Amino acid sequence: MSRTESVPRPDDDTRIDEVAEFVTTLLSTPAHRLTACRGWTAHELVAHLAAGAAEEADLIEAHLAGVQRPTRAFEDREPPFRAQADAELRDRLMEESVRLASALGKLADRAGEHVSFTGRAMSAADFAMHSRSECALHRWDLTGRDDVGWAMLSQPSLTEHALGVLTSMSTLPEAPSNRLAAAAAGPEIRAVIRSAPHDDVVLTLSGGALAMSMQAAGDLAPDVELEPAARLLLLWGRREPSAPIDLHATGPAARMLGTLFGW
């Protein structure tokens, strides 16, 4: 069976190993290669992931020991990782990932407990989903569109996760609240982003505050139509050149979408 033939259906979350696919791609990516992630090289992207895994593991281990502390900012935790030689850094990513997996196993044993990460209360399942999302998105940053990556990005669970994270983690550069920082208070604006056959993503801007949710496609006409994987990338501030986007919105909705997504 060819690799393309083995790609899961876009709505199948059970047969895709995002972490393994990311690692396989990373092994063939030189450290100096530019990525689609904010102009970073592959080395800088790996530093971001290693520092993130280390921070998550630290926070969870501290919580298990009864200690609470705020999440350190990107600019505080990532520079030491960027300074490492690339081979050492890649080994460190694997080490921190193993440590994070161990911490998550212990957190999962404490039913109902959550750890605050970048302003969001997260369970063990939330952290696991965040790792899946990071690997799927950053694999695209490394390699662009291919069949395996497009199937990963098409999973509805990753879009649901993105809406929660981008709403609650306001310090993220990709957070819509940052992209709409200059939005003035005014009448409510609603925009429907449709990616059939999945549920719609509905954006509502009211008084300068943006709410995002997933709703079953109904009688509302779509303001934007695009493929599910392209929608996930769009929510994270990315754009796949090969994926068409049909814009139907006009007036305030079109202006809001343009501000959000840089049209």
pLDDT in tens, 141-181: 999 999 999 999 999 999 999 999 999 998 888 888 777 76
Mapped onto helix, strand or coil, the DSSP state of residue 119 is coil
pTM of model > 0.85: yes
187 against 164, higher pLDDT: 164
Residue 197, preceding peptide bond in cis (omega within 30° of 0)? yes
What Å distances lie between residue 87 and 25, 130, 145, 152, 254, CA to CA? Answer: 15, 25, 26, 27, 46
Q: Which two tokens stand for residue 180?
A: 């709409």
Rounded Cα gap, residues 113 and 187, in angstroms: 39
pLDDT digits over 84-132, tens only? 999 999 999 999 999 999 999 999 999 999 999 999 999 999 999 999 9
**Strands 189-194 and 224-225, bridge-based pairing:** parallel
| Structural domains in the chain plus CATH codes | 18-153 (1.20.120.450), 176-261 (3.30.1050)
**Strands 120-122 and 189-194, bridge-based pairing:** unpaired
Tokens 């790792």 found at = 131
Of 98, 128, 130, 109, nearest to 63 by C-alpha is 109
